[in-house]
A = this chain, B = another copy of it.
Amino acid sequence: MSYTREELVELLRKHGIAPTHQRLEIAHVLFSRCEHLAADQILALANERFAETSKATVYNTLNLFRDRGLIREVIVDPKRVFYDPNTEPHHHLYNVDSGELTDIAAEDLQISGMPVLPPGMVTEGVDVIVRIRAL
């Protein structure tokens, strides 16, 4: 859950990412709490102690982490992307009132009857979003 600086360095290196100060700060924000955060929240949390990371670097880094498979994007709100440090297949419960996003374990939810894909196409992922709100 809580990684040391050295463990984070190792994690980035294992994914072919040079461990700069800013990237470690952002990795720390993402992997120390297991929440779903938007870019502006990540920027604010990274700069909580000392402001040393720019908006451009946060976006560069999130896109890099996503491309290298360290994190994934969750598309539930047209206004912002959420970043998920859990890249294992799983699903989401989205509270449309509060914006709170929580996980549903992949094993808990069974899907049957997946469509046959056109030839030459592969499934990149199956996202299930359960949208809930106060009665």
Contacts and interface: CB of A to CB of B under 8 A. Distances in A.
Main secondary structure of the interface of A (DSSP, over half): strand
Contacts of A109: 111-115
A127 B126 contact: no
Contact of A122 (B108, B127, B135): B135
Interface string A101-132: 00010001111111101001111111111111
Q: What is the interface residue range for chain A against chain B? A: 35 or more
A10 to B, nearest CB: 30
A41 to B, nearest CB: 16
7 shortest A-B CB distances, which residue pairs? A124-B131, A109-B113, A110-B112, A127-B129, A121-B132, A78-B81, A125-B131
